[in-house]
Structure 1
């Protein structure tokens, strides 16, 4: 069985190795979020639409596959197409709110993925969990840097039509958006950890805060 393939004149042709690998990593995400570290090789193969033998010709073992899937899922660059789809003709407030809304959803999902990465580190044979975590975090950091640069470039492209209306340079505005996003997310995480029922952050309200601050219109600068 082989469904991860291309089609040329109606005939299925195998994908190049890199594309096949990426297709598998994308296909297994739903079952990983559903089953966590308890997922079986059979379930992963079924999700990818390939035989188990095919799966492990691409990946060394289940732990390697899960780790790679997690790292791919939390790569910021994965969100670039969705960000780029935001209409640049929308009002500035709506564009900023859309960026924050997507960011809030993605950060929340990323936390689930990182919890899975922690779980799977305990299952890797012959390697101390601490050593595995350090190696995984180094690889994660490298991907995060490149992906974050791609995300920031896309946000800058979205905000550029109104750059002359902003009091700060675009880079500073993007840094502020990131700070607000992370702060709002961590507040929600902390509340859940303490068992509190806190409503999710409102992207529109956060966008208003970023663009207009907390002073009333016409207030003298402090």
Structure 2
């Protein structure tokens, strides 16, 4: 297997054990998850911390969700499209937040010095990939909502920003509750869609008669 392919395969294979064990994962567990010997693992990666960091950065790519967005039928009613999109996006954002938490853990383990320069370079490269991935997701969602543009009070791009704000806020609430040992339960996706489409004001008598 070419070096780049082997590297990518290892980064993908260790994801489940990283989500389960976090920064406490051992080199042996990583090697077993990747199906290679520890010596092989560290001929590809400098050390355990580098491997974990690169695996996390590889796992958080917004563009991974584009194929799923494209499976949503553009002819569905607007509410149904938004509800499906919300369920998909909540799953992706929740997992991304778990990865980001692990990235912070790893950051505390990395020593200062020359390796810090490589770490910063990797973060910058990841940032560029994030920007491109986010743009790809936005384009896919815009294509999904475009048939309903005439029904919307705001431009499609503004609706997407509002959707993202509600999505991230709801996800952060769930993640924060779990961090404090509380069970907030999953967000009510239909309630979130109601908020996006209708706000929080009760219908006026004029609205009811329309």
Query: In structure 1, what is the Cα distance between the partners aligned to 2:77 and 2:194?
Result: 12
Q: Which residue of 1 aligns with 2:207?
A: 219
Q: Once the 2 structures are TM-superposed, how far is the Cα of residue 207 of structure 1 from its aligned partner? A: 1.6
Deviations 1:113-146 (A, max 9, x none): 1221122223334549998986665444333212
Gaps of 5+ in 1: 1-13
Gaps of 5+ in 2: none
Which shifted more, 173-182 or 44-53? Answer: 44-53
Deviations 1:172-201 (A, max 9, x none): 111111111112123334444555442321
Query: SS at 2:109's partner residue?
Result: coil
Candidates 165, 176, 196, aligned match of 1:179: 165
Q: Which residue of 2 aligns with 1:21?
A: 7
Candidates 93, 99, 103, aligned match of 1:113: 99
Which shifted more, 93-102 or 82-91? Answer: 82-91
Q: Which residue of 2 aligns with 1:8?
A: none
When you count helix as a share of all residues, which structure comes out higher?
2
Contact 1:84–1:154 (8 Å) recurs in 2: yes
Query: In structure 2, what is the Cα distance between the partners aligned to 1:169 and 1:149?
Result: 17
Contact 1:184–1:201 (8 Å) recurs in 2: yes
Q: Once the 2 structures are TM-superposed, how far is the Cα of residue 72 of structure 1 from its aligned partner? A: 1.4
Query: What TM-score, normalized by structure 1, do the two folds share?
Result: 0.78
Equivalent runs, 1:51-90 vs 2, <5 Å: 51-90=37-76
Query: What TM-score, normalized by structure 2, do the two folds share?
Result: 0.82
Instruction: Quote the RMSD (CA, aligned, Å).
Output: 2.8
